[in-house]
Amino acid sequence: MVRSLWTAATGMNGQQNSIDVISNNLSNVNTTGYKQQRAEFEDLLYQNIKLAGTPATEDTVTPVGMQMGTGVKVAATQRIFTQGNLQATDVATDIAINGEGFFRVQQYDGSYAYTRDGSFKIDSNGQLVNSNGLRVMPEIIMPENFEINTLTISNDGRVTVKVSGNDDPLDVGQLEIYRFANPAGLTAEGDNLFTVSNASGDAIASRPGLEGAGTTKQRFLEMSNVSVVNEMVQMIVAQRAYEFNSKAIQTSDAMLQTATSLKR
């Protein structure tokens, strides 16, 4: 009975973690480029009371053993990199990736981070940056007297713009898309940024639309891939599982109370 108390407690802790993941998904339902997470569980150690194959008689062995489980734990929070819906914005510096890959930005310490959030801006130096002022890499720098309404980004990432008094567009840079062997292994840093880890592998650079990389879509943004309906269903399942485990604790407590009241 004591074992059941602790086993059910691990179940309640596990379902609480599941609710935490679901709530984070729901809170980011409108976050540009957000990728949903999923809590994954695995069972804990087992107490082997009798091993399968133990000799029963001189000529026979027990066909099955006796193992008592000790509960559950969260094994991982899997990030699911399915494509989010593309939403038209009519903003010249908004860029969505249709397919696999990430944009690269340079952080303040010089290291690189990767993002699916293409809500870029142009800073006072004419450079393409993200919402926090981090520079998009490779650098895209606009010429003087450029006309923002003439900014064009092709599906293969070529960036052109016109300057005042000149009808011919100028090439100002080439966007690159970065892919990973295991994108789920990237480390989320907040601010819609991911960094490389040993699990993700090194970044693989390519032009948009080549070598499996997605294409760039100007004047679009990729929205979160969170499905509110699915998250609500998962929340109901987690809530009921939490209640079941709490009932197991209450039942174990009632059984202990019965045992302690035998002698009066």
pLDDT value at position 264? 62
pLDDT value at position 219? 96
- Ranges 1-5, 96-100, 227-231: which has the least confidence: 1-5
pLDDT of residue 58 exceeding 80: no
pLDDT digits 0-9 by tens, 112-164: 999 999 999 999 999 999 999 999 999 999 998 898 889 999 999 999 999 98
Strands 95-98 and 86-88: unpaired
Q: How far apart are the first and last CA of the chain?
A: 21
Confidence bin at 56 (pLDDT 50/70/90): confident
How many residues belong to the chain? 264
pLDDT digits 0-9 by tens, 59-70: 888 888 888 888
pLDDT value at position 62? 82
pLDDT digits 0-9 by tens, 225-241: 999 999 999 999 999 99
pLDDT value at position 119? 96
pLDDT digits 0-9 by tens, 101-114: 999 999 999 999 99
Give the residues across from 66 on adjacent strands: 50
* CA–CA–CA angle 256, 260, 264 (5° rounding): 155
CA-CA distance, 55 to 129, in Å (whole number)? 71
Strands 121-122 and 128-129: antiparallel
**Mean per-residue pLDDT, 204-226:** 95
Query: What percentage of the chain reaches a pLDDT higher than 70?
Result: 99
The strands making up 128-129's β-sheet, listed across from edge to edge, are 121-122, 128-129, 135-137, 103-106, 112-115, 193-195, 187-190
Q: Which two tokens mark 216? A: 């760039």
Give per-residue burial for 21-57: e unless 16+ CB within 10 Å, then b.
bbeebeebeeebbbbbbebeeeeeeeeeeeeeeeeee
Average pLDDT, the chain: 92
Q: What predicted TM-score, i.e. pTM, was given to this entire model?
A: 0.87
pLDDT digits 0-9 by tens, 244-253: 999 999 998 8
CA distances from 77 to 13, 21, 87, 103, 143 (A): 15, 8, 27, 23, 44
Q: Burial level of 174, CB count in 10 A (0-12/13-18/19+)?
A: middle
Strand, helix or coil for residue 15:
helix
